[in-house]
Structure 1
């Protein structure tokens, strides 16, 4: 098996990260760092820190000169970071030593690497935003179309009270809508430029560090944090946390669908399902299973990221290396979860007959709570609960429906609508429609 499923010729379609995959390649990393070097030189030329003619030459070269990522490998193995080799290779490829001497003026490797990463994370969040909007639109359609379709609610894996399929879908969608609404603040509070020099003091910039950082931020379209964040991994951790929460919500959706699609329930049909190599009757919930697996992986990687979020002193190589090991995988797996859910959601088909059959097969026990509240109109609530519990035990003992036993035992009680699932869903239909309306309003 390949080291990463996202790079695997065998597994990449099962865990498809879509367009996000192109953001986490060696070529994309090199390109982003060259863009930062060019923008840095341009800002320094504007502020008179390096000759303007050299700044213009470096900026143009950063957009035109390609560097082979493989050429950086030996230097990274020695130095632990790619920037020294990148700078050396860039200077050589420029073939203009009078200008090349000003490349990377006063910056440190972490400035270039972190800022380059933020450029790619900006693109990643844009892809997530588009994917979330598409997924939410599909879920909103499902919620609206099936707002009135009753299904058995379950708590602790046991039958509870009636809900609707639409409200069940809305429960998946609401936290995704929350995540979408958080994106503007996440971008503002995390997509930051990094420019602080060797030990985070900016001493190399001759008193113009703050002005230069602001100019670089403007040139790249990133935020200016107003400080060094070399040893403050908050921006990266906030993005990782947002991605992990998204994967977690999608994992919950996948897990629910696995349960709904299992043979003993068969309450939903998936538009795409997998077959078995030996059992021809099987329709395996492949996409929901991928969602759950990806969520588990992302949450595990987030825990590793949190552990690396305590860098020692002004810079910590081990903590930084840990980010490199896990953060790209976290980003790609979260993206794969979103891509999987986006492809799956429009094709979900609830099986209404099977959902309705649950209420019959449960012998009316899903309406026990409703019966106890109706009965509480005639006697104290504790007595009503005790009476209904007694009737429920009789249902289990005799196999007779709760409605029949209630009619015999409580002849004076109005049971109209009590055992009709459509009339016992409470606010479920309204909640489903409210979710659909909220999505339409974005």
Structure 2
């Protein structure tokens, strides 16, 4: 019986039990490291903030390592808010300018040297910045989004701490490299592997915990995303099917296919706006304009979202909506397409690639399917992490814009990637994960 079908299953209790076990292992002196695998929206940041506070309470002065400046800033804000009695240090590069939300924090100090943060009980910085620190050492490090950290970066900072808490999402995008990586494939010192995988290979007795509940994904999406991208470590939604809903303030004026797609998404949590079959470049103007038009139409009609945070409903703003794509040139064209809609405020819709949307959360996400209009299914476009990111950013609904033919493309293009010795097969397989997601999308299809 799945958790959703078990009337006695309590998501909050399950999440609390997992967190309690994790914090207990932090107190166990025999563990040099603790790993926490987390599905999308399971509360990684909440766990990091709580663990940091517990470590300080136990007399430690932990450091926190994140992968981007945005992640660091978000953590600094959350730490400073959750622990107003603690001084938080923000370790930064000389070119860094603190955003207003960080600069306004009374219990936060920003500095370029660890020595200037001596009075801070928690110090937060990017992995790239920590790699420049040569002499300071700490008892504990919390490594956030650790599956997105390359192992060569971990090697550069591992001497800065004695014990580490590795928190991350194993289902999302692998670390990014701009150079060819073929020379290292299969070697034990492959620097392009993620830090968690390499650490576990050398420390197989490290305890691994899994957060069992996604508080972001709605009940309509959690089972599908879990089956497609987390087949061995499934999770459940933290809210029931009746907890969230979407409606319009205005009636449909015209009854276009855009309205039909939005109605499908608002009713079921998913929608596939399917355009006619055609082989097109990735900058296909019709597909890109359709994604922009859906966002503009959603704003025109005044979508109202009801959830556990806003029980009386809240009108969605442009910043509550994201349009996700696979390539940066597509993102640029979507922004231009939004401007062409003439909808005031449309420029506030978040538009970016999966790599840059990773870790972010929105009420409604519109995605241009990576395989839309393609003649072939390359490893890049079949990457499970890319589709996982795109389909797991939403709290209410996900709308997919794609040309007909993706299922046929998957059936006729099995994987042709080279097989390398000493390289474990990656699961879930990109071909299979895409098939699972397409089966869901096609049940919610609207012909455009």
Same fold (TM over 0.5): no
Which of the pair is proportionally richer in strand? 2
TM-score, normalising length: structure 1: 0.22
Bigger RCO of structures 1 and 2 (CA < 8 A, at least 6 apart): 1
Answer with 1 or 2: which has the greater Rg: 1
TM-score of the aligned structures, taking structure 2 as reference length: 0.22
Instruction: Name the one with the larger helix percent.
Output: 1
